[in-house]
Amino acid sequence: MSLIFHKTHISSSSTALASVLKTYEEYRDKIQYPENDKELFDRATDNIALLSGGITRVTVAVETLQAKVDKMEEQFNNTKKTDQKEMLLDIQEIEKDTQVFKLLAEAETFTHILEAQLTDARMNLAKAQRRQKSCSASSTQEGSAQSLAESNSARTEDNPNTEPTRISKTDSTQSYVYAELWQWPGFETLTAATGIKNLSS
């Protein structure tokens, strides 16, 4: 019994798989990513979607082709040994014309390449997200510092005799704290009433 009737199905599926591999040919080489955070984020996000889709398409095409090859091999194995010699010649002809087994091996290797590229894209996306988070935190801190500076400026404008708010690193130097407070309007009157002396003098 001849296996040539399998040739048409295997040939069409082989062509489909070859077409998918060609579509993603550019991803064989390592993908280069930009340093700019926004560009890195956008590029990594796009590549994750493209590579994930590529892996799915290659996998489906391989499974479709492999299923047709399996049917051919199943028929060969269920045939009497006396008839297998002729069928073996048919298999060799199909393989020569469609390059089916070479194509399946190539697809397996290419899938590993796409998976490695996908892993790299995910790592670059994570890096971009960390950078954006760090920049956001820095901006928040800068905004808080600016708000404090503006608050001090407003207080000074309202009362020119008022010193800006200072944050003492330690309370161990008592005279420094008193020196700061002594500059405030009304503090001298308060100390006179309570008996506190100007320790900074």
Q: Which residue has the higher pLDDT, 81 or 147?
A: 81
- pLDDT at 133 (0 to 100): 85
- pLDDT at 2 (0 to 100): 66
Asked, for residue 181, whether it belongs to a domain, the answer is yes
Asked, for residue 200, whether it belongs to a domain, the answer is no
Closest CA relative to residue 8, chosen from 64, 62, 96, 68: 68
Quote the CA–CA distance of 128 and 130 in Å, as a whole number.
5
Asked, for residue 160, whether it belongs to a domain, the answer is no
φ, ψ dihedrals at 184, nearest 5° = -80, 140
In this structure, which long-range contacts are made by residues 81-90, counting pairs with CB atoms below 8 Å and at least 24 apart in sequence? 83/1, 86/2, 87/1, 87/2, 87/3, 90/2, 90/3, 90/4, 90/7
Q: Which domain holds residue 173?
A: 166-194
- pLDDT at 180 (0 to 100): 47
pLDDT tens sequence across 93-115: 999 999 999 999 999 999 999 99
144 and 172, same domain (yes or no) = no
- Mean pLDDT over the full length of the chain: 80
pTM exceeds 0.75 for this model: no
Which tokens in the block code for residue 200? 């900074």
| 169: DSSP letter | S
- pLDDT at 79 (0 to 100): 87
Asked if pLDDT for residue 194 goes beyond 50, the answer is no
90 and 49, same domain (yes or no) = yes
Quote the CA–CA distance of 55 and 188 in Å, as a whole number.
79
Asked if pLDDT for residue 82 goes beyond 50, the answer is yes
Asked, for residue 156, whether it belongs to a domain, the answer is no
- pLDDT at 65 (0 to 100): 97
141 and 183, same domain (yes or no) = no
How many independent structural domains does the chain possess? 2
